[in-house]
Structure 1
């Protein structure tokens, strides 16, 4: 079946059954917003009422990473494709950092929500959510950041993702992408990996398969050009120091209640979590038995936790 003929929400009934949920799945639709510079921001909206919870995914993922969590949540929700991911436009400047992405996310929330949100962001989405909450406090009722802090060690668990992206830019089939994901310990079961790959890739006119997100193209170009990689590494070191300070400044500026949820074998170490608590003593820290992609590994538990924070538990 071609991508054009496939319903991107066709996986929801099986995901709902896997969670042991009763009743019909919520109505879901794809949204699109033209940004002032002509780029497109895309999102998914679930449920019949105005969203009360908005979700931002991590680097290299897309809004569908939240599908099972939103099913378990059981509330109207919005999941945004960050720029450079999913069906949102790539950025020409490749500035995929929270403060640069926040204005686009805020534009989407202005267009698609009508009240302050429980804003939930994982990894890159967590840093972006912090920037949104700092820049536009009127949009955020409460902030939940998942398995990320501004001071996270880039040579720790996150290096696995960089290595994963640094493969070819196109593939003969989606099965090759599934095999690669599983070889890196990503994706969970093969069925889950197949679903994730389908929703995060596209077939080009020449029949080759490529990731939807921009990161694979960037990582591959750096891997193929040592001089460019060295220059990018130097730039990244400089950017990381600035972003670390900026990220902490964003979190310190958040006036809404703030919670860090981290996996006990995720990317945030115990020392990094302790640093978070020292810098932000009013925030809460919750440790859960999972890895970095909490929303994919324990979506039912996460959905129930977020429902309680939304005041519906």
Structure 2
């Protein structure tokens, strides 16, 4: 089994339009459109290929990166996400969202859209402006009207199938159901699945062999 070891420090990337990364004027955040930006960033930190770990929407972007630039990224590691499994969560975004007088109102807005952990999401994803209002750190809550909204791309399965030895890390009792895992086993026979507890240390223990 190939591992593509990496001995440098881990680097956490904010996807375009997320965190402190710059936003795209047209609001196009489809995973395939993010691959080139990710490749440029990965190459600048570690030319020659490093393991790429993607969580949630980042996992879809990582699939597109590995498929389009196979030599720039090392082993592909997906955490709790596969193509087609993020649609319920992504329905929270994109959606025109107001600014909120308080963070509690952001929590209520999320709950009204079916978020399962609205308080934590609001804590991580909102920031307070100088005037005291709260808004989203990412661009998905305020996209232009003509921005693409289909972000969970089932077609990425075809790209995932072509990736050698991908590793899927699933959290016990996490978001991936049995049908999703069976689909991965059937379509990606050279892939591996590792189950971890909902503990960051467990995930770190799985990733550590890839970095030494």
Give the TM interval when normalised to the shorter protein. 0.7 to 0.9
Distance 1:264 1:307 in 2: 19
Q: Is the 8 A contact 1:201 1:209 kept in 2?
A: yes
* Structural RMSD (CA): 3.3
Residues 13-62 of structure 1, C-alpha deviations (whole Å, 9 max, x = no match)? xxxxxxxxxxxxxxxxxxxxxxxxxxxxxxxxxxxxxxx48xxxxxxxxx
Q: Is the alpha carbon distance of 1:164 and 1:89 closer, same or farther for their aligned partners in structure 2, counting shifts above 3 Å? A: closer
Number of residue pairs matched by the alignment: 205
Distance 1:84 1:149 in 2: 21
1:147 aligns with 2:80: yes
- Between 1 and 2, higher relative CO (CA 8 Å, sep ≥ 6) is seen in 2
Within 5 Å, give how 1:279-290 maps onto structure 2: 279-290=187-198
Within 5 Å, give how 1:1-313 maps onto structure 2: 52=6, 76-152=9-85, 154=87, 158-159=88-89, 162-163=91-92, 168-177=97-106, 184-186=115-117, 193=120, 197=123, 200-218=125-143, 236=150, 243-245=153-155, 247-255=156-164, 257-290=165-198, 298-311=199-212
Distance 1:137 1:163 in 2: 32
Q: What's the offset of the Cα at 1:77?
A: 1.1
Q: Is the alpha carbon distance of 1:134 and 1:92 closer, same or farther for their aligned partners in structure 2, counting shifts above 3 Å? A: same
Could you list the runs of 5+ residues in structure 2 that have no partner in the other structure? 1-5
Q: Is the 8 A contact 1:174 1:209 kept in 2?
A: yes
Q: Is the 8 A contact 1:98 1:128 kept in 2?
A: yes
Distance 2:86 2:116 in 1: 20
Q: Is the 8 A contact 2:50 2:72 kept in 1?
A: yes
Q: What's the offset of the Cα at 1:121?
A: 0.1
Q: Who is 2:3 aligned against? A: none
Q: Is the alpha carbon distance of 1:152 and 1:201 closer, same or farther for their aligned partners in structure 2, counting shifts above 3 Å? A: closer
Name the one with the larger helix percent: 1
Q: What's the offset of the Cα at 1:92?
A: 2.4
TM-score by length of 2: 0.79
SS at match of 1:262: strand
